[in-house]
Amino acid sequence: MLTELLFIFTIAIAFILVYRIRLRRKKEDKNKKTGERVAEEEAEFNLNPSFSIIKKDMIKEKIHPIKKAEEWFEKGIENQNFRNFEKAIEYYSKALNVFNKKDYPYLYAAIQNNMGAVYREIAKQSKLTIHLYKAIDVYKEALSIYKKLDYKTEAGMVQNNLALVYKQLGELTGEKNFFKEAAKFFKEALKLYKIEEYPVEYTSIQNNLGEVYKELAKISNKKENLLNAIKAYNEALKIFNILTKMFGKKMFPAEYANIQKNIGETYLSLSRIENEKKNVFKAIEYLKNALKVYDIESDPKEYADIHHQLGEIYLSTVGVFGEKNLKEIIHYIRDMKKERLRKSSPNKGKKKSKKEIVEEKKYEIDDEQRTKQENLYNAIEAYKEALKVYNLQEYPLEYAVTQNNLGMAYCVLAGITRDKKDLYNAIEAYKEALKVYNLEGYPKEYAITQTNLSVAYSLLSEIEDREENLYNAIEAYKEALKVYNLQEYPLEYATANYNLGMIYRLLSEIEDREENLYNAIEAYKEALKVYNLQEYPLEYATANKELVKIYFDLFEITQDEENLYNAIEAYKEALKVYNLQEYPLEYAEIQTNIGIAYRTLSAYSDTEKNLNKSIEAFKEALKVYNLEEYPLEYAAVQNNLGISYRNLAMVTDMINNFQNAMRAYEEALKVYTLEDYPREYAMLQNNIGNIYAILSGLKMKIGFEQGIPMLTA
């Protein structure tokens, strides 16, 4: 135990001494005149050997060239520090004419190492890879000498520097092999830089290794590389954890916070490919650890960045983010309708029927919804904190991104709370984002934000000023479609038109019904130019289902049987996707509605033929809707089946079809009991009574049709 404590104490002291020396050097550098080389964030190790130490290696040479070479070497260092990189290379090259590989191997290697650092700096400025290749050449030259001379520390230094060059190459080109080389050389450096002897270097290399793995994860083997990144970052944290245990407080907080931030970001990336809550919780934990150091006064940018990331995490937990827009309106409108029904459910004191209980259970808020709501509040709070730093003047792009995300959080929250204030806030946030995202400068972001704005107006139309907000939603989508054209953005074009179709249908319920329904059809047909059966089967099926609703609405207005034919054809297209085996519930719903469509069509043409098709469709639905699993749907379809048989009896085979109708009604009564469904029970009894009346000769061929509203999935 005592040995372990001594070991920890030794590491801590070494770490503190090295860190303080470096800190003092940095402060001294700051006191020098402007332009002097600033220490790099990535620990790149340079050798600037003292000539008083190495003069013993030079006595065999003539004094004149040695002194001149010394001057060139010092000039090289001076120009490097003042960031006159071309001059630095010039002087270092002159020095190498004297300090050659054969006679002065150590000095030769030291100059080669320094030239590598210069080439890296030139590459940072120029973004040209040619300078990095030059850096690799000189570093490898230095490494070969240090290995030959068995200078292990210096060899480790150059391996670290080589790793940094390959990392920089990877960042410039995006090529996987460069990052792999970087990881290889960092690992080689770690064989020489042990935590016990070189705690600062060990920490720096592990942190950089983590960054390399994080970059590799973007290219291939995401999970493996992200886990490797987390492992490296945790190694980098070791020294900070040791110091915290010893001194009871965070030592070197800025470095500690940076690594915590890196680990949090990596867990966030891991959570996107491996949908486990623990990764989300870890991401939040590490980012919050970083915020214990980064405060708004001393580190405003870091404070805002981390809060923005926390907002992203909380928003992603509710299924939003990645596309940076809300996409389909219908999901959020459904959420709002569920919340409205939940809030308007009968009082607890009143006895409820089975039907009321079933309907209420569909819409009651559960723990999952509460968690979702809490995460949305957390996202909103995090984004608001970020906006305390991200203002329109200094950080316009960060301001716009954060406002857009804030708007999304408010929009989804409104689906749960049905509070118009949340939608007002969403709309305000989107409008703030549009102060930056204009059509000319940021067309794609403009379109995304306009899409989100349309969703907000659509949701607000469910609460107030329906007509005005639907018009606003349409205008916003039209703005988005100035960018989303069929050729360049086919999917976005399809989504926008799909949503436009839905909005036009909603608007048709208020005014210009027929005109807006035709507008809706046009929009859905535009969406189907992209949503084809082969590439987007589900979207194809859904769009066709939506078209059916419009054709039924048009039929109500025009009584034109062509709309019924169009509705049936659209349903048949949807059935190419929603088959009995893979999508039984959708299959049953569509077959039920096809049955109703054929029965309606039978009043206009081919009565017997269409009624038989109606009966066939209802029987297909009953392959899914059985009494045990789907009692309400079973009863509704049996009632509709009874109506079709009853109507067919008025055309052909009266007795047999009336008997089939009565059997269907009796099946429906197994669910629609007097106690639980009194209205439906009475209607069915009336229908059965009418059949008995006809059969007894009291009522002959009475034209009637008492149907029960169809329940759809």
Q: Is residue 334 pLDDT above 70, yes or no?
A: no
Average per-residue pLDDT in the chain?
84
pLDDT of res. 627: 93
pLDDT of res. 695: 77
CA distances from 335 to 314, 424, 426, 466 (A): 19, 18, 16, 17
Higher pLDDT, 328 or 540: 540
pLDDT of res. 712: 33
pLDDT of res. 3: 38
Higher pLDDT, 639 or 318: 639
Q: Is residue 239 pLDDT above 60, yes or no?
A: yes
Indicate the DSSP class of residue 442: -
Least confident of 328-342, 505-519, 675-689: 328-342
Residues 6+ apart with CB under 8 A from 57: 104, 106, 107
Least confident of 333-337, 632-636, 703-707: 703-707
Q: Is residue 53 pLDDT above 50, yes or no?
A: no
pLDDT of res. 146: 94
Band (134; pLDDT cuts 50, 70, 90): very high
Band (254; pLDDT cuts 50, 70, 90): confident
pLDDT tens string 568-598: 999 999 999 999 999 999 999 999 999 999 9
Q: Is residue 2 pLDDT above 70, yes or no?
A: no
pLDDT tens string 662-687: 999 999 999 999 999 999 999 999 98
pLDDT tens string 71-95: 999 999 999 999 999 999 999 999 9
Q: Is residue 473 pLDDT above 90, yes or no?
A: yes
Band (480; pLDDT cuts 50, 70, 90): very high
CA atoms within 13 A on the CB side of 362: 13
Residue 264 · residue 233 · CB < 8 Å? no
Least confident of 77-86, 219-228, 502-511, 696-705: 696-705
Query: In the chain, where are the structural domains located?
Result: 2-25+43-251
Amino acid at 475: E
Residue 589 · residue 544 · CB < 8 Å? no
Band (463; pLDDT cuts 50, 70, 90): very high
pLDDT of res. 368: 79
pLDDT of res. 324: 54
CATH topology for 2-25+43-251 is 1.25.40
Residue 556 · residue 513 · CB < 8 Å? no
Mean pLDDT over 528-548 rounds to 94
How big is the CA angle at 205 (ends 199 and 210), to the nearest 5 degrees? 125
pLDDT tens string 160-195: 999 999 999 999 999 999 999 999 999 999 999 999
The proportion of the chain whose per-residue pLDDT surpasses 70, expressed as a percent, equals 81
CA distance 452 to 403: 11
Q: Is residue 55 pLDDT above 60, yes or no?
A: no
Band (335; pLDDT cuts 50, 70, 90): low
Angle between helices 329-343 and 443-461 (to 10 degrees): 30
Ranges 9-13, 16-20, 23-27, 689-693, most confident: 689-693
3-class SS letters over 47-96: CCCCHHHHHHHCCCCCHHHHHHHHHHHHHHHHHHHCCCHHHHHHHHHHHH
Write out the two tokens for 392. Answer: 């329109």
Q: Is residue 713 pLDDT above 70, yes or no?
A: no
Band (15; pLDDT cuts 50, 70, 90): very low
pLDDT tens string 391-439: 999 999 999 999 999 999 999 999 888 999 999 999 999 999 999 999 9
The alpha-helical segments, DSSP class H, found in 193-252 are 199-217, 222-247
Q: Is residue 130 pLDDT above 60, yes or no?
A: yes
Write out the two tokens for 16. Answer: 């503190």
Amino acid at 697: G
CA distance 266 to 307: 16
